């Protein structure tokens, strides 16, 4: 599952770095910091939406209200362990499927790298240990985590329609 707006922003930032000759400079670091925040904002929104869409299979306004609030809380902290825990709230089968597909895989490391570096930007001194190429690679690899959330939640094509 791709994020078309985010993909365009990454391409634009890469063109800027190339045309201005600002690779390996503080400008690259600023761009990486910006993109870390953008990637995580997209992931947070997407996780919340995916959980909410799975919950819409229930036709009870009070349960939907409860689960929507739960989805908001779940999306606030979204490292792999947090996501695994949220999926476990649906059932052990969801948790196990996600864990088997993601834990200790390339996508897990990529997700953690993005998540932890964004945390440093937002809550630390702002210095990151990623280059633009690292971010691009980890972003591409981390998208597998979103795909595995979709699979673990047993979402149907109509459930994820319009999430590009």
Residue 35, pLDDT > 70, answer yes
Reported confidence tier of residue 16, pLDDT bands at 50, 70, 90: very high
Q: In this structure, is residue 161 part of a structural domain?
A: no
> Quick one: which H or E segment has residue 134?
helix 132-152
Name the pTM for this structure.
Answer: 0.91
Query: What is the phi/psi pair of residue 153, to 5°?
Result: -80, 0
Helix (H, G, I), strand (E, B) or coil at 130: coil
Q: Which residues span the domain enclosing 101?
A: 4-156
Q: In this structure, is residue 72 part of a structural domain?
A: yes
- Count up the domains in the chain and report the number: 1
* pLDDT top residue among 36 and 60: 36
Of 8-12, 127-131, 155-159, the range with the lowest mean pLDDT is: 127-131
Q: In this structure, is residue 111 part of a structural domain?
A: yes
Q: In this structure, is residue 97 part of a structural domain?
A: yes
Q: In this structure, is residue 121 part of a structural domain?
A: yes
Q: In this structure, is residue 163 part of a structural domain?
A: no
Rounded to an integer, what distance in angstroms lies between the CA atom of residue 163 and that of residue 52? 13
- Please give the full DSSP string across 16-60, using - where no structure is assigned: HHHHHT-TTSHHHHHHHHHHHHHHHHHHHHHHHHHHHHHHTTS--
Nearest-CA neighbor of 54 among 38, 37, 70? 70
């Amino acid at each position: 599952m791709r994020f078309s707006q985010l993909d365009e922003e990454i391409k634009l930032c890469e063109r800027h770095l190339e045309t201005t000759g600002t690779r390996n400079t503080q400008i690259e670091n600023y761009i990486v910091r910006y993109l870390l925040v953008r990637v995580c904002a997209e992931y947070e929104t997407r996780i919340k939406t995916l959980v909410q869409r799975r919950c819409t299979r229930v036709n009870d306004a009070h349960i939907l209200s409860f689960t929507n609030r739960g989805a908001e809380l779940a999306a606030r902290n979204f490292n792999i362990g947090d996501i695994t825990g949220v999926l476990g709230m649906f059932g052990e089968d969801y948790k196990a499927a996600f864990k088997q597909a993601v834990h200790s895989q390339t996508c897990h490391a990529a997700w953690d790298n993005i998540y932890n570096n964004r945390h440093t930007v937002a809550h630390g001194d702002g210095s990151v240990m990623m280059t633009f190429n690292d971010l691009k690679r980890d972003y591409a690899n981390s998208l597998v985590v979103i795909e595995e959330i979709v699979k673990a939640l047993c979402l149907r094509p109509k459930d994820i329609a319009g999430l590009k």
